Structure formats: C-alpha cells, structure tokens
Structure 1
Amino acid sequence: MSDKFLKDTYDLETPQDTRAHYQKWASSYDAEVGANGYATPGRVAEALWSKLPEPQTPILDYGCGTGLSGEALHTVGFQIIDGVDPTPLMLEGAKAKGIYRTLSTFEITDPNPLKKGAYKAITAIGVIGTGAAPPQVFDMLMHALPRGGMLGFSFNDHTLDDVSYTSRLNDWLDMGAARLLFREHGPHLPGMDLKSDVYIVEKA
C-alpha cells in the first residue's frame, strides 16, 4: 500500500486542493492512516471525556472525514455526535460507521459554516494544520462555542513548526478569552514518526 496520499497532505496549498485531495483519498483513507497507527483521535477523545464526562452532551465533530474521530468519541462514552465535513466522499465513509446522529457538508471556502452556540463541545481532530484547515478556522470554531464551551483539537509536528497556527491559540489564551485545560505531546502517526499536541480549551 502506498503512503502517497498521506505524504502529499502536507504540501496542499489551497482549500480547493485540500477538498480534491480528500475526495480522491476517501476510499483508502482509513487503511492508510490505520497502517501508520493513527493515534490522535483516541487521544483527543480521552482528553475531552476527562473534562466533560457527559454521554448525552451533543458533540460536533468538525472535519469528521470518514468518521475515525467520531468512532474515538463514541468509544470513550459520547453518545450524541454530529459530523460535518466539506468532502462528500469522506462523509460516505462516516455514514457507513453508523455512529453519527447527523452528517452534513459545507462549502470549504465558507468562513462561517457553523451556527453559533449550538454545541457545548466541538472537536477538530487532525483538522487544523499544514495542508488542511488554515489558522483562521481555530478562531471560527472558538467563536461558534458558547461561553464555557470546549474545543478539543490537535496540532501535529508540522503545524507546531508554523507560528501562524500556534499564535492563534496563544492569542486567545493571552487575552484571557480562553483557558487551556489540557495539553499533551504524544503519538500522531507513529508509522511516520510524527507526533502531535492534543489540547482541550475552554472558552472564557
């Protein structure tokens, strides 16, 4: 099996490139990331559950892809999970897993695709980063949360090297607009020797 799709992910430059890439990757995505030991979904899910152990609290899985993140959320105890993703073929994989309450798509260039205050918790697992969602998506997700809402997300090593991403998080924390509840560096894709930071942030 080739890791071409996975390696090419970090070189994508535009939203249109990203959407086309994931459309082509959809059928082999689970197998390819699974072969590389994709660990971040489980780590984010466990971290969120440690701060919000509420099975009936609806979770929005932003950028849910084929549903590996939703599976991880379901495994730790969350029972009401809605997924959104800009890639229809990836959503077909998510639907097949049978764990989402609702699944919907959005236009990848829409700067505000979410209804504000609709979810107490949002996850963006392996979503915000180099070759994927741009830094401003972090701001969009934080603005979509109500006060006291939580965002569970990850930055892989490539993203941690790009100050345009980490500065968004630091701006929210430094202004007192958010509180850092959890941060841990650990395995992301062990097969590629790639790690990630996992975060839980609460909107102040």
Structure 2
Amino acid sequence: MSGRHIDARHNYNLRKTMTPQQIADMFNDFADDYEEEYKGLGLCSHLRIGEYMAETYPEHQRAALQVLDVGAGTGYVGETLSELGFKRIDALDPAQKMLDVAKTKHVYERLICAFLNKNRIDEIETDQYDCITAAGAFNEGLIPVCAFLEMIRIVKPGGRIIFTITDKYIANTDGYRKELLPFIQKMADEGAWDITAVPLADGAIHRPDGPGMLYSFKVNVTEKHL
C-alpha cells in the first residue's frame, strides 16, 4: 500500500480521490491494527448504537430480530448487540480482511463482503431484515447517499435504519454536504420513512470529532426509487 493510503486511515481529505476499491484495500491492510488504533482514539459510536437498540427493542424481542450490521469492520457493533441479547446478526463490509477479524468474534451468522451503494446486493433478499445498523460508516469515501435506496429494499416495512454521523462529516464530506440532509427529508416527505433524530454530545461518537446525530428511520415501504 502506498504511503498516501496509509495516511488516509485518519486523514479523510486524502480519500476524496480514492476509488471505493482503494478504500476497501486500505481497510484490508488496516485490519490487524484497526482495533488497537481506534480504541486509543476513543471510538464509541458502537456504544451509541447499542444504547438506542436496547431502548427501542424490548429484551424478549431481541433474539428473534434479524439485524444487518453495515460497515461491520472488525465487529464492534456485533459484539455490543450480542451482549444485549441480539443473536441473529449479519455483517456487511467491502473489506474481506476486516470481516475475517469479525468472524473470530463468533457473533455473526453471515459475513457478506460487498459494497453498499445503489446496486442490488444479490445475497440479500428484499424485506429480509428487521433492522440495519451502521456505526462509523458515514464519512469520506464510505457509504454514499444513494445506498439508502438499497437499505430501504432490504429492511422490512416497519423496520429501522439506525446510524450515527458527526456534524463534522456532514459539513466536510463531498458526498454529504449538499445531498444528505435534503435526501433524508425528501424520503420523509414522500412517506418512505419516519425520522427520529437524537442529538449526540461532543465526543459521543468519536472523541476527536465533535457532536453529531443518531438517526433512526422507520421504513414504511418495500422499495423506493428516485
């Protein structure tokens, strides 16, 4: 891997000219060091997801719910949800070596190596999941806005898409700055989902990155096309 790609681990501006495959390759090369580096940086978005999931789903329902952990990486969210009683969890990530680490946690039923974008993921059926979670997966070069259409397809009507994002990433990420919030509102106006937005304090997602938001979209439709 080039020195530039190593620097892009934490300098998101360097990701602006990288292809999705280059970013996936960066995380593949990063897999063995990822948890050690990010624990030192105060990554805690997975904890916010776990707290919200525990508040949303009563304990007696959790074991039966089908959850897809998007941008699963090495399995932080999967571990957190498993400890809370969620047992039917699948992982989705484009970096196979990150998934290889996640597999060792023994918290996922399936590990799917695929990019989440506007394209259909053939391994996943329409209306398959009760909930999609994504922690730390919305920043430069990762999940594009168009991917919400595929998420709507694979979540059951009445199911949820739950994710965290910092205000900093909304403001500074090329693909989000002018598109993300208008798209979220457009889908709500058209009845595709109902929005719950939970403000998160400075450092609640990732210590260096300031305040942000946890979004929970209750999906009302089977599919949505622009």
TM norm structure 2: 0.80
Q: Report the equivalent of 2:110.
A: 102
| Letter aligned with residue 12 of structure 1 | R
Aligned-residue offset at 1:131: 2.5
Aligned-residue offset at 1:184: 2.4
SS at match of 2:81: helix
SS at match of 2:79: helix
Aligned-residue offset at 1:93: 1.0
Counting matched residue pairs gives 201
Q: Report the equivalent of 1:130.
A: 140
- Percent sequence identity is 24
SS at match of 2:165: strand
Q: Report the equivalent of 2:224.
A: none
Question: Is the contact between residue 129 and residue 165 of structure 1 (CA under 8 Å) also seen in structure 2?
Answer: no
Q: Report the equivalent of 1:32.
A: 37
Question: Do structure 1's residue 116 and structure 2's residue 126 form an aligned pair?
Answer: yes
Aligned-residue offset at 1:140: 1.7
| CA–CA separation in structure 1 for the residues paired with 2:75 and 2:13 | 21
Q: Which structure has the higher relative contact order (CA within 8 Å, separation 6+)?
A: 1
| CA–CA separation in structure 2 for the residues paired with 1:20 and 1:8 | 16
Question: Is the contact between residue 156 and residue 194 of structure 1 (CA under 8 Å) also seen in structure 2?
Answer: yes
Aligned-residue offset at 1:19: 0.8
- After the TM superposition, which residues 178-189 of structure 1 pair with which residues of structure 2 at under 5 Å, given as runs? 178-186=193-201, 187-189=204-206
| Letter aligned with residue 205 of structure 2 | H
Question: Is the contact between residue 116 and residue 147 of structure 2 (CA under 8 Å) also seen in structure 1?
Answer: no
Q: Report the equivalent of 2:223.
A: none
| CA–CA separation in structure 2 for the residues paired with 1:79 and 1:107 | 24
SS at match of 2:32: helix
Q: Which runs of 5+ in 1 are unaligned?
A: none
Q: 1:72 to 1:11 in 2, by over 3 A?
A: farther
Aligned-residue offset at 1:4: 4.3
SS at match of 1:120: strand
Q: Which runs of 5+ in 2 are unaligned?
A: 1-5, 172-176, 221-226
| Letter aligned with residue 27 of structure 1 | D
SS at match of 1:7: coil
Q: 1:128 to 1:137 in 2, by over 3 A?
A: farther
Question: Is the contact between residue 49 and residue 77 of structure 1 (CA under 8 Å) also seen in structure 2?
Answer: no
Question: Do structure 1's residue 203 and structure 2's residue 226 form an aligned pair?
Answer: no
Q: Report the equivalent of 2:191.
A: 176
Aligned-residue offset at 1:121: 0.8
Q: Which string of whole-angstrom CA distances, capped at 9 and with x for unpartnered residues, describes residues 28-86 of structure 1? A: 11111111111111101211221223222121112211101111222333122111211
Question: Is the contact between residue 6 and residue 32 of structure 1 (CA under 8 Å) also seen in structure 2?
Answer: no
| CA–CA separation in structure 1 for the residues paired with 2:37 and 2:195 | 32
| CA root-mean-square deviation | 2.1
| CA–CA separation in structure 1 for the residues paired with 2:85 and 2:8 | 31
Question: Do structure 1's residue 44 and structure 2's residue 49 form an aligned pair?
Answer: yes
Match among 165, 188, 199 for residue 155 of structure 1: 165
| Letter aligned with residue 18 of structure 1 | I
My pick for the range that moved more, 118-127 or 12-21, is 12-21
Structure (1 or 2) with the larger CA radius of gyration: 2
Q: Report the equivalent of 1:12.
A: 15
Q: Which string of whole-angstrom CA distances, capped at 9 and with x for unpartnered residues, describes residues 84-133 of structure 1? A: 21111100110111111221212567711132111111112221332311
